[in-house]
Amino acid sequence: MATNRTFTMIKPDAVRNGHIGAILEQINAAGFRIVAMKYTRLSQEKAGAFYAVHRGRPFYDELVDFMSSGPIVAAILEKENAVADFRTLIGATNPEEAAEGTIRAKYATSIGENAVHGSDSDENADIEGSFHFAGTEIFA
């Protein structure tokens, strides 16, 4: 069942490069409502747990190091068809393949340092949102 919610992180590269404001503006302009948001830094342990599904992949250690290398913005977003529409808004994982105007085409520098995360299913949106936010931090 569609939850109309997705989960995102503005990753350490985009934060370091000063793109928080522009990315949030593009997200709002596309019709997403922010229902939860925090500025935080993941420990190696938390980054490893968040991306546990990728454990064993050749890029896993690099991904965990990168995602814990500096602050991130984590948020839960609400919109009809949120998961699919947000993935369209951010573009392909590899910025070289991301459509023009998408967040990754504009702000990502490589497949590893790709500016933003977006959930790939309603189920994962729910799991990932709960990983970062308590119920009292979500404002429907």
- 69 is a contact residue toward ligand CMP (CB under 6 A): no
Minimum CB distance to ligand CMP smaller for 16 or for 139: 16
Does position 93 bind ligand CMP by CB under 6 A? yes
Residue 11 labelled as part of a binding site: yes
- For 19-34, letters b (16+ CB in 10 Å) and e give beeebbebbeeeebee
Instruction: Name the residue nearer to ligand CMP (CB basis): 11 or 78.
Output: 11
59 annotated to bind ligand: yes
Q: Kindly state whether residue 84 participates in binding ligand CMP, applying the rule CB under 6 A.
A: no
Which of 38/139 has CB closer to ligand CMP? 38
The two counts, helices (H) then strands (E), for the chain are 7, 4
Number of residues that bind ligand CMP (CB under 6 A): 8
Is 87 among the annotated ligand-binding positions? yes
CA-closest candidate to residue 17, choices 99, 116, 118, 100: 116
In the chain, what is the greatest distance between 2 CA atoms, to the nearest angstrom? 39
Q: State how far the Cα of 3 lies from the Cα of 17, in Å rounded to an integer.
A: 32
Residues that bind ligand CMP in the complex, under the rule CB under 6 A: 54, 59, 63, 93, 111-112, 114, 117
